[in-house]
Amino acid sequence: MEILNLPRLMVASHRGGAGKTIVSLGLLFSLKTRNFKVASFKKGPDYIDAGWLSSIAGRPCRNLDLFILNEEQNLYTFYLGVKDGADVALIEGNRGLYDGVDWQGSCSSAQLARILKTPVIFVLDCTKATRSMAALLKGFVEFEKDVNIAGVILNNIARPRHENIIRTAIENYVGIKVLGSIPKLKHLPNERHLGLITSYEFHFKFLPILKETFEKNVDLDTILEIAQNVEPLLIPDHYLTEEKNLYKGLRIAVFYDKAFQFYYPENLEILQYLGAELVYVNALQDRTLPEVDGIYLGGGFPEVYAEALAENGSLRKDVYIAGEEGIPIFAECGGLMYLGKEIFWKDKSYPMVGLLPI
C-alpha cells in the first residue's frame, strides 16, 4: 500500500447539462495558466469530456467508473493519473451527484467522492430561478451528509441582481460558500448526438474567454484551499500479474485521428506494458497500412468523416487484405462501422473496408 496525499476536487451538479464540463474546463485552464500540473479524471465511461480535459491538461484524462471497476481498481487508476507528477487532481462527475444505477445511488459521483475522500464543488444551473436554488442546494447538502459539498458555483447568471438574490439566499439558508458565478456565455460549442463535440473539433479560441470569465468571477484561491484540505488515500499495490514481455516484438496499429479517437489510456498502456509496440495510423491521411501484427480500431465518428475515409481507398484495401490474411483486428463502435461494407450518412452511401457484411 502507498499513501497518497494530493490536493483534489470533484466538480458535480444536480443534473446533466448544468455546466459541469464548462466549469471543469474553466478551472483546469485557469489552474494550468497558474503553472499547476493538473491531472484530470472523468467519472463514467465518457470519451468526449475526457478528450477535452486531456487536450487542455496536456496529459491523458482517465475514467473512473464504479460500475466497470471495483473500489481498489478505481483507486489505482487514480494513482496512475497522478504518479508521474501532479499538483492537483480534478474529477468531473456525471449526471446528478447522487444519480447511480439504482434508487440507492450505487456507482454515483457521490460514492466516488467518498471513496477518493474528495471535496465537491457543486455547479448550480440558475436559469430562470432565484431563491429556489437555495432550497435545491440545501437538499443536496443534507441528503448524504458524508459527502463533502464544500462550495458552489452559480452557472447561467443573467445579471448582477440575479446573482445577488441567489448568493444571499444560499448564504442565509444553506451556509455553503458561493465560490463564483458564471454569466450566460454565448458561442458555446454545439452539441451532437453522442454528447458534446470532440476535442479535435473544440474551438480552442473559446478558452481565453473562459479563462477571463473565471478570473473575473470565480474565487480560484479558495477553491485551491478546499482542494488542499483533504485526507490521504491508501493506494493498493500494482495488480497486474501478466508477464511483462508477453507481447514483446509485436507491432499493433492503433487508428487515431478525427474519425477514431475513443480510447481509454489504460488499454494502450497495458499493451505497452506487455511489450507491444504501438504504431499510430491516421485513417484520413495515411495511404498505406504499416507492417503490423494486429490492428486496434477504437470508436469515434466515422460517419462524419465518411467521405474522407471512402476517398482513402488504398488504406481501406490494406485493412481488408490484413483481415483476410488473418491478422487480428479488435474494433469497437465506430471502428466496427469502418470494417463494414458501407456507411450511410445524410442520404449518401460511402464504401468502407468491406470485411463485415454490414
pLDDT in tens, 297-307: 999 999 999 99
Is 211 a residue whose pLDDT tops 90? no
Rounded to 5 degrees, φ, ψ at 310 are -65, -35
Is 332 a residue whose pLDDT tops 50? yes
pLDDT value, residue 75: 95
Read off the C-alpha cell for 145. 451528509
pLDDT value, residue 196: 47
pLDDT in tens, 144-178: 999 999 999 999 999 999 999 999 999 999 999 99
Domains 2-235 and 251-351 share a fold: yes
Residue with the three cell numbers 497522478:
82
Q: How far apart are CA 29 and CA 22, in angstroms?
A: 10
Please state the CATH superfamily assignment of the domain spanning residues 251-351 in this structure: Class I glutamine amidotransferase (GATase) domain (3.40.50.880)
333 annotated active-site: yes
Which of these is catalytic: 61, 107, 126, 333? Answer: 333
pLDDT in tens, 88-127: 999 999 999 999 999 999 999 999 999 999 999 999 999 9
Give me the residue spans of the domains in the chain: 2-235, 251-351
pLDDT value, residue 140: 98
Is 295 a residue whose pLDDT tops 90? yes
More confident residue, 239 or 99: 99
Query: Structure pTM?
Result: 0.90
Q: How far apart are CA 350 and CA 120, in angstroms?
A: 46
pLDDT value, residue 190: 46
pLDDT in tens, 21-78: 999 999 999 999 999 999 999 999 988 889 889 989 999 999 999 999 999 999 999 9
Nearest one of 22, 72, 77 to 44, comparing CA atoms: 77
* Rounded CA Rg of the chain: 22
Other beta carbons within 10 Å of 16: 13
Q: What value does the mean pLDDT of the chain take?
A: 92
pLDDT value, residue 194: 34
Is 282 a residue whose pLDDT tops 80? yes
DSSP assignment of 34-56 equals TT--EEEEEESS-SHHHHHHHHH
Can you tell me the mean pLDDT for 278-294? Answer: 98
pLDDT value, residue 239: 62
pLDDT in tens, 180-204: 999 988 766 544 433 445 555 555 6
Can you tell me the mean pLDDT for 325-351? Answer: 97
Can you tell me the mean pLDDT for 258-266? Answer: 93
Question: Looking at domain 2-235, which CATH architecture does it have?
Answer: 3-Layer(aba) Sandwich (3.40)
pLDDT value, residue 195: 46
Helix, strand and coil percent figures for the chain, each rounded to 5: 35, 25, 40
Share of the chain above pLDDT 70, in %: 93
Sheet containing 88-92: give its strands across.
62-64, 38-43, 88-92, 8-13, 120-125, 149-157, 178-183
Three-state secondary structure call for residue 3: strand
CB 42 within 8 A of CB 94: yes
pLDDT category at 236 given cuts 50, 70, 90 is confident
Nearest one of 132, 115, 143, 129 to 4, comparing CA atoms: 115
The residue count for the chain: 358
| Residues near 342 by beta carbon (within 8 Å), at least 6 away in sequence | 349, 350, 351, 352
Three-state secondary structure call for residue 284: coil
Strands 191-192 and 88-92, bridge-based pairing: unpaired
